[in-house]
Amino acid sequence: MAEKEKVFTIALAGNPNVGKSTVFNNFTGLHQHTGNWPGKTVESSQGEYIYNKSKYIIQDLPGTYSLTPNSAEEQVTSDYIKSGDYDALVIVLDATCMERNIRFALSIISYVKSKVIICINLIDEAEKKGIDIDAIKMSEMLGVPVIKTAARSGKGTDNLKREIEVISSNSQKTDNTELRDKDLTELSDKILAACCTYKSDFTDRRDRQIDRILLSKRFGIPVMLLMLAGVFWITIAGANVPSELLNKGFRFLGEKLRTGLSVIHCPELIISALIDGVYTALTWIVSVMLPPMAIFFPLFTLMEDSGYLPRIAFNLDTIFRKANAHGKQSLTIAMGFGCNACGVTGCRIIDSPRERLIAIITNSLVPCNGRFPMLIAIISMFFAGTSLGAAKSFVQSLILLFIIVLSVLVTLICSKILSKTVLKGMESSFILELPPYRHPQIGKVIVRSIFDRTIFVLLRAVSAAAPAGLLIWILANIKMGDSTILLHITQMLDPIGKTLGLDGAILCAFILGFPANEIVLPIMLMIYMSGSTLAEIPDLVQFKEILTSNGWTMTTAVCMLIFALFHFPCSTTCITIWKETHSRKWTLLSFLVPLIAGVVLCFAVNAVSVIL
């Protein structure tokens, strides 16, 4: 009879940015999943690994600075640690910041009557800074095992697994509650003095010298804008070729599928609905959406892995404070440039529920990757068309930068309004840790960003695109009288569109483009050309001729830019908002805020144009 597999539960605790998730990923690989804690919207990361024929279920607890909770995330961690529902508790510390980390560890050890292991992570970074830590002496003083690791490279993780096995298998629990009667600050100072040796401060000096530039009032924000502009340029320029290749490949495959369906005598009506409707919408979204996301998110994650993103929050905190918002909202906005759905999930880093809601509601006010091709096409045709070569690219970049700044400005205004109306409340304290600069692990960054962000967003968009493609095909192919249903809807919307400086075709395209912004221009072109399926975008010269022949003016182009920037979020973002807030009220408000901003601005621009 085979021996029954033993199962142990392990918990990972620690301050934010100590490498808990890196330890978790090193142990579990792809054997992990995320969800929410029961009754809470706080993310739960759980995985498993096998070691010496035993199974270990490992729970990555939200990062916290103390066992006294100030947020839902900290409440989850505090409750779980105090519950004792685990076989071993691994407290992860940052070897480069032991002064703060050791006090947190002592507070847990003094409270928990259970099995504790100290994991001093980022030991490789500590060595670069000339920091030497005596783990044996620290273990003697704390009364618990102390293991040094560099989880990013895997150094020391086998020793940690071995210690977890020993502690988990030992039925006798350790009692550390005698520490409660001691002065933890005094004790931590003694431990640091006895166990930590600082040989050099070269790396600290280097970090401080870099921060004198990146965090300065003179250079901080300009450098940030240049870096973000570089990310956008690489994303947009780099996505063109793979998008075109994917589009050609999908067209070729589509023809083969059409032929195959004809061979098996599938009715032509069904073939057209499947290929011209569902398949075309799906493949268009994938070919336009996938390449820029596959470029943007790794670049964004590289900035995160290098330690630069917290500096962005530091630089913009004062500006966001004036809008009664949270400094970390700047990071969620930056994520929103890649995808608003990811920006919404990124709002979890904001501890205050009120300020987190402000960030969620206003995230769709900044343009995502799906809107950039639309914005650039309009800019190229109507505002940079007379320039040539490098001058044209420069003009395009300046106008796009202005649009991005405008979106952030409107975000701040709306955040201020929300904080004074439906989301009144006290501002929360903002604890921001500036991690040391590190060499990002490019391979792991690419894998993590593609699986955690790109595929996540793409799957949600594709799931909404299939029914949308079928709906668009039905509206464009079924007639009511002499015209299709689509043209009837367009005519009904035309008077509303005219008051906003737009027209019915543009409004109809945005409504039907709710599953993904990438299909707005093809739908609009299909309507103008009275087509029956999503239309291929011609070169910009031909495209402009089609638009102007359908009544487009400079006012239409300006209002189109505004409405492309400010309109209701896509279905993927709406679904994500619902999952994050579990509230119809906040989901509806998140839908209405950018739409109202766009309607008001378009109406104002059109009114001024008419008067002039």
pLDDT in tens, 483-510: 889 999 999 999 999 999 999 999 999 9
Give the pLDDT confidence of 312-344 residue by residue, as tens digits. Answer: 878 887 888 888 887 788 888 888 887 898 889
Residue 31, pLDDT score: 57
Residue 429, pLDDT score: 58
What CATH number was assigned to the domain covering residues 6-200? 3.40.50.300
Region 93-112: what's the mean pLDDT?
A: 85
Share the mean pLDDT of the chain. 83
Residue 43, pLDDT score: 64
Q: Does residue 133 carry a pLDDT above 70? A: yes
Residue 1, pLDDT score: 42
Residue 392, pLDDT score: 62
What is the C-alpha separation between 5 and 54, in angstroms, rounded?
Answer: 6
Region 244-267: what's the mean pLDDT?
A: 89
Could you count the other beta carbons within 10 Å of the beta carbon of residue 54? Answer: 15
What one-character-per-residue DSSP string does 395-408 give?
HHHHHHHHHHHHHH
What is the C-alpha separation between 425 and 58, in angstroms, rounded?
Answer: 37
What is the C-alpha separation between 561 and 578, in angstroms, rounded?
Answer: 28
Q: Does residue 76 carry a pLDDT above 80? A: yes
Helix, strand, coil proportions of the chain in percent (round to 5)? 65, 10, 25
Give the pLDDT confidence of 561-608 residue by residue, as tens digits. Answer: 999 999 999 988 999 999 888 899 999 999 999 999 999 999 999 999
Beta strands in 122-275 (DSSP E): 131-133, 146-148, 196-198
Beta strands in 61-187 (DSSP E): 88-94, 116-121, 131-133, 146-148
Per-residue confidence band for 548, with pLDDT thresholds at 50, 70 and 90 = very high
Residue 126, pLDDT score: 85
Give the pLDDT confidence of 161-173 residue by residue, as tens digits. Answer: 999 999 988 755 5
Residue 201, pLDDT score: 62
Q: Which amino acid is at 251?
A: R
Give the pLDDT confidence of 342-358 residue by residue, as tens digits. Answer: 889 888 878 778 888 99
**Nearest to 120, CA basis, from 89, 82, 151, 77:** 151
Out of 18-32, 112-126, 427-441, which region has the weakest mean confidence (pLDDT)? 427-441
Residue 178, pLDDT score: 56
What is the C-alpha separation between 530 and 114, in angstroms, rounded?
Answer: 71
Stronger pLDDT, 436 or 238, i.e. the higher one: 238
Region 27-34: what's the mean pLDDT?
A: 67
Per-residue confidence band for 157, with pLDDT thresholds at 50, 70 and 90 = very high
Percent of the chain with pLDDT over 70: 88
Out of 136-145, 199-208, 246-255, 505-514, which region has the weakest mean confidence (pLDDT)? 199-208
Percent of the chain with pLDDT over 90: 28
Region 531-551: what's the mean pLDDT?
A: 85
Backbone angles phi, psi at 504, to 5 degrees: -65, -35
**Distance from chain centroid for Cα 488:** 39
Check: CB of residue 5 under 8 Å from CB of residue 54: yes
- Specify the length of the chain in residues: 612
Residue 432, pLDDT score: 64
Please identify which residue in the block is written with the tokens 């968009």.
461
What is the C-alpha separation between 354 and 550, in angstroms, rounded?
Answer: 46
**Nearest to 339, CA basis, from 402, 297, 381, 298:** 297
Locate the domains of the chain by residue range: 6-200, 220-611
Region 136-157: what's the mean pLDDT?
A: 90
Residue 3, pLDDT score: 57
Residue 30, pLDDT score: 60
Highest-scoring range by mean pLDDT, 217-226, 436-445, 490-499: 490-499
Region 41-58: what's the mean pLDDT?
A: 83
Region 182-196: what's the mean pLDDT?
A: 84
What is the C-alpha separation between 594 and 512, in angstroms, rounded?
Answer: 17
What Å distances lie between residue 166 and 23, 106, 115, 116, CA to CA? 18, 22, 10, 11
Highest-scoring range by mean pLDDT, 37-46, 275-284, 584-593: 584-593
Residue 171, pLDDT score: 57
Q: Which residues pair with 13 in a beta bridge?
A: 91
Stronger pLDDT, 380 or 425, i.e. the higher one: 380
Alpha helix locations (H) across 182-279? 184-195, 202-214, 220-263, 268-272
